[in-house]
Amino acid sequence: MMQQERNLTQDKIIDFVSWQLNVPTTNIFPSSNLSADLNLDPFDKMLLIAELESRLNVYLTPEEADNIETIQDVSRFFNQHAA
């Protein structure tokens, strides 16, 4: 069940990123790099993480947010805090 919950959260994150960046979900993968693949600068990355924190009611430390590079990282950090 935990793996299924993680996948749902990852799917939610991909859906949200797709909506927020106006990028088709078919172009966003767990391995997608926020800066290289999705063209987010550090400020945009911070805004995206802040919006996800607000929507999911899960908050990361500044160090954790700094270590997020990919969609998979986003999912992993948010799942760790949601548990």
Q: Using one digit for the tens of pLDDT, what is the confidence trace for 19-65? A: 999 999 999 999 999 999 999 999 999 999 999 999 888 899 999 99
Q: For residues 51 and 20, is the Cβ–Cβ distance under 8 A?
A: yes
pLDDT beyond 50 at 77: yes
> How many domains, the chain?
1
CATH number at residue 77: 1.10.1200.10
Q: Which region holds residue 32: left if phi is over 0, alpha if psi is between -120 and 50, else beta?
A: beta
In one-letter notation, the amino acid at residue 9 is T
pTM of the model: 0.84
Q: Which domain, by its residues, includes 26?
A: 2-82
* Residues belonging to the chain: 83
Q: How far apart are CA 12 and CA 55, in angstroms?
A: 11
Confidence of residue 83 (pLDDT cuts 50, 70, 90): low
Q: For residues 48 and 17, is the Cβ–Cβ distance under 8 A?
A: yes
pLDDT beyond 50 at 1: no
